[in-house]
């Protein structure tokens, strides 16, 4: 009999990928996904430790889950970074939790579930000697025409505010051959766009495929991207999250040479102050960061930037904050995320003196977010009248609509039937809304009846593919 699996995912794209792979691991044990936690035989909370009070949120969710009830014999598991950080403390505070496991051990989930089913309390938070990717099954089904692909995990940077090196471990890069095999299978299943994931993705240095042409040694992310671009069916390549120190010249030139590599890059800087960057152990300066941005825009004039900022890091003065504001004005971001600094237990910054008062952090954050929001609005408004390539992904809110993504990750709404999903189309942008762009399909792999493709005298049939 089929058992039901419910997974709640917190946090980053890597966690989304991990949740998908957990589902693949458990599918072989007869588990099928459900959207209703109360119906599930196994509930997994796949947690994130980046945000403030992350652990308390997990305990609150566990309390609600217990109160809601479920089928007899239901198992409850807590995985991810909070599980890695808290370990057995989770079962101390919530004894009804059956399984606690870190982000490096979920390839062993089948065994954990079997042990928990026999009444054994399971806590698996040791870093295994084996790489989990070597033990994961083939994906059992795709979730659309875009897919996450983990290529790198962990971090060796040890920024003083960050828990990732402690919850995800040291940097590890998957062999390039395994990644290419996974993407070929995805492409055969209809995937058109891949997002390459890693905590420090541009530090990728995976073993080259056996018999690979070119220089010997490990492949960089740039070399991997060039190989992915040769896979039939893959129209778009993205990657996240990057570190300024690892934006090598070969990766910058790949943005020049590969049309599949999208002109949109998430490159966190965290602060515009060199003094604060040093205290954060970022090991780059504001000028180093700006040189990377300038070089990217030199090779790709249409490059749009995204970033992360921490406001109110210990010791941040008014002058430090104004340096951040100047950097933001200089870069002109299409999108950025900004947060007040909050201490993470076990990180060096948590023990620093000169913590910034909460009211000061709040005032600075508001000023920064006002500037970033104005830049985002201006960037979106600049799309009006432009023709953008859009990958159609899913039905829109209204009948006869489809939603896709621009090269810059903006949602684009067009009139098209559901069978146009997975097609790359050219869209003339007419209007810009708060959270999306609206436009008309004027070319590409699908055209509405009566529209002539550029350079093609034929009229495309409804829902037809332009050859």
Q: Which residues of 297-307 are buried (b: 16+ CB within 10 A; e: fewer)?
A: beebeebbbbb
Cα dihedral 25, 27, 31, 35 in deg (nearest 10): 90
Integer Cα distance of 230 and 262 in angstroms: 15
Q: Is 88 annotated as a binding residue?
A: no
pLDDT given at position 460: 35
Q: Is 12 annotated as a binding residue?
A: yes
Q: Is 383 annotated as a binding residue?
A: no
- Do residues 37 and 8 make contact, with C-beta atoms less than 8 angstroms apart? yes
Q: What secondary structure does DSSP assign to 200-262, as a single string?
A: TGGG-EEPPPTT-SSSSSPEEHHHHHHHHHTSTT--EEEEE---GGG--HHHHHHHHH-TTB-
**Strands 264-266 vs 304-311: parallel, antiparallel or unpaired:** parallel
pTM: 0.85
- Do residues 168 and 153 make contact, with C-beta atoms less than 8 angstroms apart? yes
**In this structure, how many other beta carbons lie within 10 angstroms of the beta carbon of residue 27?**
16
Angle between helices 221-229 and 176-188 (to 10 degrees): 30
pLDDT given at position 169: 87
Per residue of the chain (467 residues), what is the pLDDT tens digit?
A: 689 999 999 878 888 888 998 999 999 889 999 999 999 999 999 998 776 677 788 999 999 999 988 999 999 999 998 899 888 899 999 999 999 999 888 899 999 999 999 999 999 988 765 676 776 776 655 568 999 999 999 999 999 999 888 888 889 999 999 999 999 999 999 999 999 999 999 999 999 998 777 666 899 999 999 999 999 999 999 999 999 999 999 999 999 999 999 999 999 999 999 999 999 999 999 999 999 999 999 999 999 999 999 999 999 999 999 999 999 999 999 999 999 999 888 899 999 989 999 999 999 999 999 999 999 999 999 999 999 999 999 999 999 999 999 999 999 999 999 999 999 999 999 999 988 999 999 999 998 876 655 433 322 333 344 43
Q: Which domains does the chain have, with CATH numbers?
A: 3-124 (3.40.50.12160), 132-381 (3.80.30.20), 387-465 (2.40.50.140)
Q: Is 159 annotated as a binding residue?
A: yes
Q: Is 154 annotated as a binding residue?
A: no
pLDDT given at position 278: 98
Q: Is 407 annotated as a binding residue?
A: no
- Do residues 136 and 107 make contact, with C-beta atoms less than 8 angstroms apart? yes
Integer Cα distance of 226 and 210 in angstroms: 17
pLDDT given at position 452: 59
**Strands 3-9 vs 31-33: parallel, antiparallel or unpaired:** parallel
């Amino acid at each position: 009999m089929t058992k039901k699996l419910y997974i709640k995912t917190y946090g980053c794209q890597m966690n989304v990928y991990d949740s998908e792979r957990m589902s693949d691991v458990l599918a072989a044990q007869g588990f099928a996904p459900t959207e209703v936690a109360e119906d599930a035989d196994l509930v997994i909370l796949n947690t994130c430790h980046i945000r403030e009070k992350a652990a308390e949120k997990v305990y609150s969710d566990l309390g609600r889950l217990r109160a809601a009830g479920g089928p007899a014999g239901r198992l409850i598991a807590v995985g991810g970074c909070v599980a890695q950080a808290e370990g057995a403390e989770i079962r101390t505070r919530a004894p009804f939790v059956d399984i606690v496991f870190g982000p490096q051990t979920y390839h062993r989930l089948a065994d954990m579930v079997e042990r928990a089913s026999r009444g054994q309390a399971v806590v698996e938070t040791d870093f295994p000697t084996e790489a989990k990717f070597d033990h994961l099954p083939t994906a059992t089904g795709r979730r659309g025409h875009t897919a996450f692909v983990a290529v790198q995990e962990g971090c060796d940077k040890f920024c003083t505010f960050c828990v990732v090196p402690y919850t995800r471990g040291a940097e590890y890069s998957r062999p390039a051959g395994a990644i290419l095999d996974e993407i070929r299978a995805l492409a055969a299943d209809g995937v058109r766009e891949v997002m390459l994931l890693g905590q420090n993705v541009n530090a990728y240095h995976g073993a080259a495929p056996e018999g690979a042409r070119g220089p010997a040694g490990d492949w960089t992310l740039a070399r991997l991207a060039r190989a992915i671009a040769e896979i039939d069916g893959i129209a778009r390549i993205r990657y996240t999250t990057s570190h300024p120190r690892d934006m090598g010249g070969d990766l910058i030139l790949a943005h020049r040479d590969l049309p599949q590599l999208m002109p949109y890059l998430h490159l966190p800087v965290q602060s515009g102050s060199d003094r604060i960057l040093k205290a954060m152990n970022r090991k780059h300066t504001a000028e180093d960061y700006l040189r990377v941005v300038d070089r990217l825009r030199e090779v790709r004039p249409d490059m749009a930037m995204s970033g992360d900022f921490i406001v109110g890091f210990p010791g941040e003065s008014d002058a430090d904050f104004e340096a951040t504001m100047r950097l933001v004005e200089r870069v002109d971001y299409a999108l950025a995320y900004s947060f007040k600094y909050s201490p993470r237990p076990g990180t060096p910054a948590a023990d620093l003196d000169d913590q910034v008062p909460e009211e000061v952090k709040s005032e600075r954050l508001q000023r920064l977010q006002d500037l970033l929001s104005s830049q985002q609005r201006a960037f979106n408004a600049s799309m009006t009248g432009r023709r953008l390539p859009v990958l159609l992904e899913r039905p829109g809110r209204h009948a006869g609509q489809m939603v896709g993504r621009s090269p810059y990750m903006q949602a684009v709404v067009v009139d098209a039937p559901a069978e146009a999903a997975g097609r790359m189309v050219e869209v003339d942008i007419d209007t810009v809304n708060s959270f999306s762009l609206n436009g008309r399909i004027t070319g590409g792999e699908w055209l509405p009846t009566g529209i002539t493709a550029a350079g093609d005298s034929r009229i495309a049939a409804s829902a037809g593919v332009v050859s």
